[in-house]
């Protein structure tokens, strides 16, 4: 997350989207989740949250600029606040104004980013004194992707998503993301994978990737395990992948369980091509990979950024 402004009773933050530069799905665990192995990368596509303290111990949530109708009572932001409220018995509540820019059900982690940002905001505003590991542990009770958003913005993610290894790989490239109009429910995508789970770990190393070219060439040995089944159900996704390659992308992947496809482009050769849209109601975004200040927390709820 990126903290834009803090006052005594209000905080403004940016919650970034993420992409999966590769994604392997392994066995289903006893807790119902799957083990994964993935490279998560934060990108410069953000939701913005303005969160302020209110007198009553409730949450008021207003969602702006979303092209899609989002739930309020069952929203993941509401779940994050309710968890903190029940754990710390807060005397006050929060008013949240969410300016939604990350598309929903897109494989970009927007909801998880918003929930993680809400946890951070409550920690600061209510001076809960949670440190980094406590924030991460709390976030896993809400969703598997949340711990990543407390990281430095680039990490190998394993377990069900709660085990992170921060990385320092090259960031000197551009991205074009295309979000088709149809959603893919994560539960359905995992269901399609039942007979096609990965049996071995990624057979390559990212340790010696010192340039964008090295990283892209190495990532060509990897993939996204969801792609094959999702392409069978939605053939337009495979055609979109081919179109991005034809437009000069060095690497094309589906992010998460889809349906967003992203192309990695050389900074010197990127040209925006509006006609990569298969249909007029598909969304196109330009973005860059970003690093985040890895926030640490003192016992008074203050923050500082560590890189």
For the annotated catalytic residues, the residue numbers are: 18, 145
Enumerate the β-bridge partners of residue 257. none
Q: Is the peptide bond before 259 cis (omega within 30 degrees of 0)?
A: yes
Query: For residue 306, how many other CB atoms are within 10 A of its CB?
Result: 9
Query: How many angstroms from the chain centroid is the CA of residue 152?
Result: 13
Contacts (Cβ under 8 Å, ≥6 apart) of 108:
17, 18, 19, 45, 102, 177, 179, 255, 256, 260
Which DSSP letter does residue 103 get? P
Distance in angstroms (rounded) separating the CA atoms of residues 60 and 65: 17
Closest to 209 measured CA to CA, from 227, 221, 199? 221
Residue 171 to residue 99: CA distance in whole angstroms: 27
Torsion angle of the four alpha carbons 212, 215, 217, 219, in this order, in degrees rounded to the nearest 10: -140
CA 143 → CA 23, 37, 45, 131, 136, distances in Å? Answer: 17, 16, 20, 19, 11
96: exposed, middle or buried (C-beta count within 10 Å: 0-12, 13-18, 19+)? Answer: buried
Length in residues, the chain: 307
DSSP codes of every residue in 34-89:
EEEEEEEEEEEEEEEEEEEEESSSSEEEEEES-SS---STT-HHHHHHHHHHHHHT
Give the C-alpha separation, 42 to 44, whole Å: 7
């Amino acid at each position: 997350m990126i903290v834009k402004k803090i006052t005594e009773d209000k905080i403004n933050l940016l919650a970034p989207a993420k992409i999966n530069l590769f994604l392997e799905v392994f066995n289903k665990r006893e807790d119902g989740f799957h083990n994964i192995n993935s490279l998560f990368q934060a990108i410069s596509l953000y939701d913005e949250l303005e969160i302020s303290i209110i007198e009553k111990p409730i949450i008021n949530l207003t969602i702006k600029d979303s092209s899609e109708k989002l739930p309020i009572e069952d929203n993941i932001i509401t779940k994050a606040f309710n968890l903190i409220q029940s754990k710390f018995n807060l005397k006050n509540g929060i008013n949240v104004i969410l300016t939604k820019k990350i598309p929903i059900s897109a494989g970009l982690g927007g909801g998880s980013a918003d929930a993680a940002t809400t946890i951070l905001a409550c920690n600061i505003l209510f001076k809960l004194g949670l440190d980094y590991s406590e924030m991460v542990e709390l976030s896993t009770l809400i969703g598997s992707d949340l711990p990543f958003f407390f990281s430095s913005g680039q990490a190998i993610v394993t377990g069900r998503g709660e085990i992170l290894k921060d990385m320092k790989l090259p960031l000197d490239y551009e991205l074009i993301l295309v979000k088709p109009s149809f959603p893919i429910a994560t539960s359905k995508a995992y269901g399609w994978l039942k007979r096609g789970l990965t049996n071995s770990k990624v057979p390559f190393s990212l340790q010696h990737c010192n340039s964008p070219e090295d990283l892209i060439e190495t990532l060509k040995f990897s993939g996204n395990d969801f792609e094959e089944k999702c392409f069978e159900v939605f053939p337009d996704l495979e055609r979109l992948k081919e179109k991005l390659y034809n437009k000069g992308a060095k690497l094309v992947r589906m992010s998460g369980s889809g349906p967003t496809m992203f192309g990695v482009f050389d900074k010197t050769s990127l040209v925006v091509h509006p006609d990569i849209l298969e249909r007029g109601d598909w969304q196109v975004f330009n973005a860059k990979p970003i690093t985040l200040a890895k926030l640490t927390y003192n016992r008074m709820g203050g923050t500082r950024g560590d890189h």
